């Protein structure tokens, strides 16, 4: 099946710094990529949807200036958490899809902000 990778798998950063997370579709071209947050024992919270070459569409309540998403190619999307704070600590998951098909999920990135 299709593979989606995320890098890094975990990261610890200091409050006020920025962190970039990469999401790559390894063996297919993803027309759409999604970014989620997952809280312990809870479902996925969709943060934003990004299509290659266009601006990301953010869900209500998600600060687009804080969570910068770039989808520069059909195989790469990045999420940058700017000026991170402890409340941004979470598990961030990306997924990639070809339109209307199932999503292929990355393994997730555990972000801890100290």
Q: Which of residues 54-93 bind another protein (CB under 8 A)?
A: 93
Query: Minimum distance between the CB of residue 102 and another protein, rounded to whole angstroms?
Result: 5
Among candidate residues 103, 96, 94, 84, the one with its CA nearest the CA of residue 8: 94
Closer residue to another protein in complex, CB, 50/78? 50
Closer residue to another protein in complex, CB, 19/106? 106
Query: 5 pairs with which residues across the strands?
Result: 24
Closer residue to another protein in complex, CB, 81/93? 93
Residue 106 near another protein by CB under 8 A = yes
Residue 42 near another protein by CB under 8 A = yes
Q: Which of residues 21-40 bind another protein (CB under 8 A)?
A: 32, 34
Per CB under 8 A, residues contacting another protein are: 1, 32, 34, 41-44, 46, 49, 93, 95, 97, 99-100, 102-108
């Amino acid at each position: 099946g299709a593979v989606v990778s995320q890098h890094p798998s975990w990261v610890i950063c200091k409050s006020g710094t920025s962190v970039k997370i990469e999401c790559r579709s390894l063996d297919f071209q993803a027309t759409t990529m999604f970014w989620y947050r997952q809280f312990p024992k809870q479902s996925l919270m969709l943060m934003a949807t990004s299509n290659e070459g266009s601006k990301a569409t953010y869900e209500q309540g998600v600060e687009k200036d804080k969570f910068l998403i770039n989808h520069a190619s059909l195989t790469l999307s990045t999420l940058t958490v700017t000026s991170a704070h402890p409340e941004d600590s979470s598990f961030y998951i990306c997924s990639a899809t070809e339109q209307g098909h199932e999503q292929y999920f990355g393994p997730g990135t555990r972000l801890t902000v100290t």
